[in-house]
Structure 1
Amino acid sequence: MLFINRSKSRLVMMLALVMFVLTAALPVYAADSSTKLEIRLKLASNQMKINGEATKIQPPYKSSNEVMVPLSVFTNAKSFAAKVQLKDNKIITLTYLKHVIVMTIGSKAATIDGKKVTLSEAPVNKSGVTMVPLAIIAKTFGATQSNDAATKEIVLKATITSAGSGSKGPGIDTDSGKSKIGDSYYTWSMNYPTGLVQQKQWSNGNFLSFSDVKGNYYLAISIEEAEEALDSNEKRDWIKENIEDETVVDVKTITRPTGKFERIVTKDQGGFYYEYRGIQANGYFYTLIFGKKASKASELDANAALLDSFQPVYNAANKSLKDLARIKDGKISFENSDYGLKLQLSKQWSEDSRSANPYYYGPDDSSLSLDVYSLNSDDNLSKWVGSYTQFFKELKAEAYRKEPEISSVTWNGIPATVVKLSYSDNTKQWLNEYQIYAIKGQYKYAVNFTYKEGSRDGVEDVINEVLNGMKIDFAKVEKSFGEVPDPMDSLDLTSTTTKKSKKFNYSVTVPKYWISGTIDMDKNSVNFSHLATDLAIAVNQGSGLKEYQDYFEKANQNSGIFNMDSKTNVTFAGVNAVKYEFSTNNLAQYGLKLTVYIFESNGNLYAVQGTMNITYATESNLKRLDEALNSFQLTK
Structure 2
Amino acid sequence: MKRNAFLKMGSALLACSVVFSAAVPAWADSAAADKLIFKVKTGSTAAYMNGKQEKIVKPYIDHGTVMVPLGLFKRTFGSEVRLENSNVVKVTYGAHAISMTIGSQLAWVDGRKVKLDAAPAMVSGTLMVPLRLVAEGIGASIAPESTGSLVVSLSPSDDAVDDEDVGIDADLGKTKIGNSFYQWTMNYPSGLILGGGEQDESIVSFSDSEDTYYFEVHATDQDVKLDADELLSMLVEDAKDAGEIVVDRESFSQAKVPYARMIAKDGDGTFWESRMYYNNDRLYEVYFADLKATNYKDLKKYAGLLNSFNTSYNASDKTVKDLSTVKKGMRREYNDDYGISLDVPAGWSIDNTNMYYEGKEGSYLSLNVSSAPKGSSIEQWSQELQSWLKDSFVTDSYQIVSTSPIEISGEQGLVNEVRYNYGDGWMTEYEVMVLHNGYRYYAEYSVPEKQKDDLNKFKDLMKSIDIDFDVVSDTFGNMEEDAFLINRSKTTTKTSKAYQYQISVPQYWTANQDKFERSPVEYQFVGGRFRITAEKSTSLEATVSQLKSYYTEAAKYQKDLKVEKTENITFAGEPAVSITLHQVKDGIPYSARQILLQKNDIVYTISTSLNDANATASQKDALEQALKSFTLTEAK
TM-score (norm 2): 0.61
Q: Is the 8 A contact 2:535 2:602 kept in 1?
A: yes
SS at match of 2:457: helix
Residue of structure 2 aligned with 1:621, choices 619, 622, 627: 619
Shift of 1:462: 0.9
Quick one: structure 1 residues 553 and 385, their matched pair in 2 at CA, closer, same or farther if it must change by over 3 Å? same
Query: What's 2:289 paired with?
Result: 291
Shift of 1:541: 6.8
Query: What's 1:91 paired with?
Result: none
SS at match of 2:511: coil
Shift of 1:376: 6.7
For residues 371-412 of structure 1, the C-alpha deviation after alignment (integer angstroms, 9 at most, x for no partner) is: 344667655433443433333332333332223632112233
Q: In the aligned structure 2, how far is the partner of 1:174 from the partner of 1:416?
A: 50
Query: What's 1:343 paired with?
Result: 343
SS at match of 2:482: helix
SS at match of 2:387: helix
Give unmatched runs, 5+ long, in structure 1.
1-17, 26-30, 36-76, 83-94, 101-139, 144-156, 164-169
Shift of 1:240: 5.2
2:509 is aligned with 1:511: no
Q: Is the 8 A contact 2:184 2:309 kept in 1?
A: no
SS at match of 2:206: strand
Q: Is the 8 A contact 2:348 2:360 kept in 1?
A: no
2:444 is aligned with 1:448: yes
2:463 is aligned with 1:464: no
Query: What's 1:112 paired with?
Result: none
Quick one: structure 1 residues 176 and 377, their matched pair in 2 at CA, closer, same or farther if it must change by over 3 Å? farther
Query: What's 1:583 paired with?
Result: 581
Quick one: structure 1 residues 327 and 606, their matched pair in 2 at CA, closer, same or farther if it must change by over 3 Å? closer
Q: In the aligned structure 2, how far is the partner of 1:225 from the partner of 1:569?
A: 50
Alignment of 1:198-277 (within 5 A): 199-200=196-197, 203=200, 207-211=203-207, 217-223=213-219, 232-237=228-233, 245=242, 246-252=244-250, 262-277=260-275
Alignment of 1:56-135 (within 5 A): 98=104
Q: In the aligned structure 2, how far is the partner of 1:485 from the partner of 1:141?
A: 29
Q: In the aligned structure 2, how far is the partner of 1:314 from the partner of 1:262?
A: 21
Higher Cα radius of gyration: 2
Q: In the aligned structure 1, how far is the partner of 2:278 from the partner of 2:627?
A: 60
SS at match of 2:268: coil
2:388 is aligned with 1:391: yes
2:407 is aligned with 1:410: yes
Quick one: structure 1 residues 273 and 480, their matched pair in 2 at CA, closer, same or farther if it must change by over 3 Å? farther
2:488 is aligned with 1:493: yes
Report the AA paired with residue 210 of structure 1.
Answer: F
SS at match of 1:294: coil
Quick one: structure 1 residues 211 and 416, their matched pair in 2 at CA, closer, same or farther if it must change by over 3 Å? farther
Query: What's 1:13 paired with?
Result: none
SS at match of 1:458: helix
For residues 147-180 of structure 1, the C-alpha deviation after alignment (integer angstroms, 9 at most, x for no partner) is: xxxxxxxxxx9999899xxxxxx9x989434333
2:431 is aligned with 1:432: no
Q: Is the 8 A contact 2:420 2:428 kept in 1?
A: yes
Q: Is the 8 A contact 1:179 1:192 kept in 2?
A: yes
TM-score (norm 1): 0.61
Q: In the aligned structure 2, how far is the partner of 1:271 from the partner of 1:461?
A: 53
Shift of 1:360: 3.1
Q: In the aligned structure 2, how far is the partner of 1:478 from the partner of 1:214?
A: 44
Q: Is the 8 A contact 2:227 2:259 kept in 1?
A: no
Quick one: structure 1 residues 301 and 563, their matched pair in 2 at CA, closer, same or farther if it must change by over 3 Å? closer
Number of aligned positions between the proteins = 491
2:347 is aligned with 1:360: no
Shift of 1:350: 1.7
Q: In the aligned structure 2, how far is the partner of 1:379 from the partner of 1:477?
A: 22
Alignment of 1:158-173 (within 5 A): none
Quick one: structure 1 residues 268 and 377, their matched pair in 2 at CA, closer, same or farther if it must change by over 3 Å? farther
2:319 is aligned with 1:323: no
Shift of 1:458: 0.5
SS at match of 1:558: helix
Q: Is the 8 A contact 2:121 2:128 kept in 1?
A: no
Q: In the aligned structure 1, how far is the partner of 2:219 from the partner of 2:535?
A: 51
Q: In the aligned structure 2, how far is the partner of 1:369 from the partner of 1:319?
A: 37
Report the AA paired with residue 474 of structure 1.
Answer: D
Quick one: structure 1 residues 270 and 551, their matched pair in 2 at CA, closer, same or farther if it must change by over 3 Å? closer
SS at match of 1:449: strand
Q: In the aligned structure 2, how far is the partner of 1:228 from the partner of 1:573?
A: 51
Please identify, of 437-446 and 228-237, the stretch whose mean Cα deviation from structure 2 is larger.
Answer: 228-237
Query: What's 2:97 paired with?
Result: none
Shift of 1:367: 1.8
Alignment of 1:37-52 (within 5 A): none
2:174 is aligned with 1:178: yes
Please identify, of 377-386 and 430-439, the stretch whose mean Cα deviation from structure 2 is larger.
Answer: 377-386
Report the AA paired with residue 393 of structure 2.
Answer: K
Quick one: structure 1 residues 270 and 444, their matched pair in 2 at CA, closer, same or farther if it must change by over 3 Å? farther
Q: Is the 8 A contact 1:332 1:344 kept in 2?
A: yes
Q: In the aligned structure 1, how far is the partner of 2:566 from the partner of 2:537?
A: 24
Quick one: structure 1 residues 459 and 542, their matched pair in 2 at CA, closer, same or farther if it must change by over 3 Å? closer
Report the AA paired with residue 466 of structure 1.
Answer: L
Query: What's 2:420 paired with?
Result: 423
Quick one: structure 1 residues 309 and 629, their matched pair in 2 at CA, closer, same or farther if it must change by over 3 Å? closer
Shift of 1:472: 1.2
Q: Is the 8 A contact 1:494 1:511 kept in 2?
A: yes
* Greater RCO structure (CA 8 Å; 6+ sep): 1
Q: Is the 8 A contact 1:536 1:610 kept in 2?
A: no
For residues 80-105 of structure 1, the C-alpha deviation after alignment (integer angstroms, 9 at most, x for no partner) is: 799xxxxxxxxxxxx986499xxxxx
Q: Is the 8 A contact 1:503 1:522 kept in 2?
A: yes
Alignment of 1:15-54 (within 5 A): 23=6
For residues 478-507 of structure 1, the C-alpha deviation after alignment (integer angstroms, 9 at most, x for no partner) is: 599656935417945333343445565543
Q: In the aligned structure 1, how far is the partner of 2:198 from the partner of 2:170?
A: 18
Identity %: 22
Q: In the aligned structure 2, how far is the partner of 1:34 from the partner of 1:373?
A: 36
Quick one: structure 1 residues 358 and 97, their matched pair in 2 at CA, closer, same or farther if it must change by over 3 Å? farther
Query: What's 1:474 paired with?
Result: 468
SS at match of 2:196: strand
For residues 438-491 of structure 1, the C-alpha deviation after alignment (integer angstroms, 9 at most, x for no partner) is: 2445754322221112x14403421232244x2415269559965693541794
Report the AA paired with residue 341 of structure 1.
Answer: S
Shift of 1:572: 3.7
Q: In the aligned structure 1, how far is the partner of 2:519 from the partner of 2:306?
A: 57
Shift of 1:600: 5.3
Quick one: structure 1 residues 273 and 383, their matched pair in 2 at CA, closer, same or farther if it must change by over 3 Å? farther
The two structures, once aligned, show a CA RMSD in angstroms of: 5.1
Shift of 1:415: 0.7
